[in-house]
Amino acid sequence: MSTEIPLEWLERKGQDIEPEIRKALECAVGHILRDDWGSSRSKLFLDYLQTTVIPDLCRFFTLNAHVLDHPLLPEILAHKLSGEHGYPSGYVNSLAADLLGKARETIPRATTKSTAHEPWERIMRLITIGESIPGLTRLTGFSPTYIELLWRQFLEYRDNPQAALRAGIPANRCRFFNSFIQRLQEVPFAQEYMIAEQAIFDLGLPITPDQLISFLSKIYMGGIVHGHAAVVSLFYRQYSTIPEIDRFVPELQNYGLVRQGDNLELTPRGARMVSPIIANQLLTIIERGSDRPEAAEEWQKMLLALPTEVFNLTVEGLVRSQATHSRLILTSRTLPSQKHKLLKLLWAWGEINNQAARQLLIAMLKHKDGLISFP
């Protein structure tokens, strides 16, 4: 899975500072590289500094403006200077410190809280949610070789923690790897929440992942929840805690999570982020529900009205369930008009293989007019 961030948004990322601040930053970085560190005065080298190194470093500082004080950033910048721009390893640490000091003086920064491992968390989160290393480099400004190094060490630690420590991977990095693995294993919907975290990080939104997911769920399910009291209770109790996120809709549109049609709606990317969570919430309500046939009919009407992504995941959950009313919902005589939903029900009937499901499946297969017909 790719993060599928729109190209237009990516192209603007790292360019969104005031022109005068950008100019001051370019001058400060250029002064350090040309004068303070005694670089070559050849025209070719000065052109390379002006066209490649200085813009790249300024973008790095802009992308990481909120963590310029982070203790891991000097290490990451030093790796970038030596790996991407060929500065000798003997003095990249001192050069990185000088450059970061000047960037802190030049770029105005809001006070933000960051974790002890924030840059590493960003790298691991982006790889986990499907971003490529070139894409990750564009989003962070970090050197691809540094990203590859961290990922390789993570895989070594995951496969054999003791061997990773013996191989010289620093203990603090191993502790971070351990906590990241625990999160993936223990936190429900860890990947979906990481997508939300990354969106909040990229857009600088003052909200939590739970709030963003609830807001997107409200957009996705808004016209549907009125049909069933239990679902209304769940979703509207949840939505009542959301702050005024509406003002961030333009940012969410530019980022490719929502779009404006006749009404505000989710993009396929936004839908994939919230669908597993919505389906799980619906399944929880269904499992607590009644075994009455009338209740099953009500639920199937709700099921057929769901967006396709949520419908598919909910049907799969009902098939896995052992509850009687889950099977009743799937074998109701009410059938969807959309062929892709009907195909999913055909799959479900084959999986549960009880008498009601077999009767529905046989009735379908008896029709000779087309591949799929209604009984």
pLDDT of residue 16: 67
Measure the CA–CA gap between 296 and 326, rounded to whole angstroms: 8
Would you say residue 34 has pLDDT above 90?
no
Query: pLDDT tens, 276-319?
Result: 999 998 888 887 766 666 777 778 888 888 888 999 999 999 99
Measure the CA–CA gap between 142 and 134, rounded to whole angstroms: 10
Residue type, 120: W
Query: pLDDT tens, 68-78?
Result: 999 999 999 99
pLDDT band at 61 (very low <50, low <70, confident <90, very high): very high
pLDDT band at 101 (very low <50, low <70, confident <90, very high): very high
Would you say residue 233 has pLDDT above 80?
no
Query: pLDDT tens, 134-149?
Result: 989 999 999 999 999 9
Distance of CA 281 to the CA centre of its chain: 20
Q: What angle do CA 207, 311, 294 make, to 5 degrees?
A: 115
CB proximity list for 307: less than 8 A, separation 6 or greater: 220, 221, 224, 271, 275
pLDDT band at 328 (very low <50, low <70, confident <90, very high): confident
Would you say residue 240 has pLDDT above 60?
no
pLDDT band at 125 (very low <50, low <70, confident <90, very high): very high
Place of tokens 């960037």: 103
Would you say residue 1 has pLDDT above 70?
no
Report the share of the chain in percent with pLDDT over 70: 82
- Alpha carbon separation from 302 to 125, 178, 218 (Å, rounded): 35, 42, 16
Is pLDDT larger for residue 371 or for residue 259? 259
Would you say residue 222 has pLDDT above 80?
no
Closest listed residue to residue 77, CA positions, set 126, 31, 139, 142: 142
pTM of the model: 0.83
Would you say residue 79 has pLDDT above 50?
yes
Average pLDDT over residues 83-93: 89
| Main-chain phi, psi angles of 63, to 5 degrees | -65, -30
pLDDT of residue 110: 57
pLDDT of residue 352: 79
